[in-house]
Amino acid sequence: MLHTNEQIIKHKVGLLNMAEELGNVSKACQVMCQSRDTFYRYKQAVEDGGVESLLQKDRRKPNPKNRVDEQTEAAVLKYALDFPAHGQVRTSNELRKLGVFVSPSGVRSIWLRHKLSCFKDRLRALEEKVAQEGIVLTEAQVAALEKKKQDDAAAGEIETAHPGYLGSQDTFYVGTLKGVGRIYQQTFVDTYSKVAFAKLYTTKTPITAADLLNDRVLPFFERHELPMLRILTDRGTEYCGRADQHDYQLYLALNDIDHTKTTVKSPQTNGICERFHKTILDEFYKITFRKKLYADMESLQQDLDAWMLYYNEQRTHQGKMCCGRTPLTTLEDGKQIWKEKFVA
């Protein structure tokens, strides 16, 4: 009876042991779904080198002859940090100009061995080198870091430092109520804590967009002694227009709130609101519209307010800042960051 603790060859040892117990090679191979030729290869390997030989047969050994020399590998690694935005093909072409001949696939293999295969990994390695050695960044490296920041913003990764640092606002079309007409929801989400506010209207205008801030958002942050510094919106007519005539922009200016607009045709830039709309659609509207018929908007608003209370105070989140906490708990914890940075 053979024994091993190596998980990778236990099925091979099991085949040999079963054949010994049954006294029938064909039956053991049928049960283990293996051919008799495979059985005899395993048996011969054990007779020649013991159980460990099964492990060696199962592993692919690297061929060092195919690996580039140390000088070439060092040149590829240096270039990856000097120009982190360049891909494997351009890296190969640029190194060829410097007298270093390595194919694009060779560059890729070196990157994989050193965990530099993607743009983010190369930037991470560059940041670690700067932190350890204190090197001065070149123009190419600074441009790569700026490109990463722009890519993060385009992908919906929003820089936020504390509650009230940046709010995200958007309009969501709920549907049509008989006797009422179209229903629109004005949505506001604090990008740090994910505390959200929602109010229903029959129109989407600058007045309704400003009303949400005036009625729900700013009073809430005043009670918590937090400022609202900046708001991110799309370029809808309810948010954008002539600064001296547009009600929403005038309201922001009156309350000293900066206004940031998303990139054209890039809804993912305001991804926090878009994700909240998917959540509220799946967890509230689809359920409540199946259970109840609404004759007026006020009844729907009451049920929406009750769900928003649950969302902010009881429902846990796995977001970047929440980490399993509720939005309100995250906001309370974040107030200390605001005090340390700006009050102290």
- Whether residues 120 and 253 fall in one domain: no
Distance linking the first and last C-alpha atoms of the chain: 73
Domain that holds residue 39: 7-58
Residue 154 has pLDDT above 60, yes or no: no
What is the C-alpha separation between 296 and 318, in angstroms, rounded? Answer: 35
With respect to residue 300, please indicate whether it lies within any of the assigned structural domains. yes
Domain end, chosen from 33, 58, 83, is at 58
With respect to residue 194, please indicate whether it lies within any of the assigned structural domains. yes
CA-based torsion, 315, 316, 321, 327: positive or negative: positive
With respect to residue 77, please indicate whether it lies within any of the assigned structural domains. yes
Give pLDDT tens digits for 20-48. 888 888 888 888 888 888 888 888 888 88
pTM check: above 0.75: no
Sheet holding 258-261, edge to edge: 196-201, 181-190, 167-177, 230-233, 258-261
Stretch 292-298: mean pLDDT, rounded? 91
Residue 62 has pLDDT above 70, yes or no: no
List C-alpha distances in Å: 139 to 85, 142, 152, 255.
12, 5, 20, 39
Residue 152 has pLDDT above 60, yes or no: no
Check which CATH number belongs to the domain holding 264 and give it.
3.30.420.10
- Whether residues 284 and 232 fall in one domain: yes
Residue 322's pLDDT is what? 84
Count the domains in the chain. 3
Residue 64's pLDDT is what? 63
Residue 197 has pLDDT above 70, yes or no: yes
Stretch 76-86: mean pLDDT, rounded? 90
Q: Which residues of 175-211 are buried (b: 16+ CB within 10 A; e: fewer)?
A: eebeeeeebbbbbbbbbbbbbbbbbbbeebebebbbb
With respect to residue 223, please indicate whether it lies within any of the assigned structural domains. yes
With respect to residue 324, please indicate whether it lies within any of the assigned structural domains. yes
Domain end, chosen from 99, 131, 154, is at 154
- Whether residues 77 and 135 fall in one domain: yes
Give pLDDT tens digits for 221-274. 999 988 899 999 998 999 998 888 899 999 999 999 999 888 777 777 788 898
With respect to residue 1, please indicate whether it lies within any of the assigned structural domains. no
CA atoms within 13 A on the CB side of 196: 28
What is the C-alpha separation between 234 and 69, in angstroms, rounded? Answer: 53
| Range in 107-121, 139-153, 187-201 with the lowest mean pLDDT | 139-153
With respect to residue 161, please indicate whether it lies within any of the assigned structural domains. no
- Whether residues 34 and 145 fall in one domain: no
Residue-averaged pLDDT of the chain = 85
Residue 12 has pLDDT above 70, yes or no: yes
- Whether residues 12 and 97 fall in one domain: no
Stretch 172-197: mean pLDDT, rounded? 93
Give pLDDT tens digits for 330-341. 998 888 877 776
Residue 22's pLDDT is what? 84
Residue 34's pLDDT is what? 84
What is the C-alpha separation between 8 and 289, in angstroms, rounded? Answer: 54
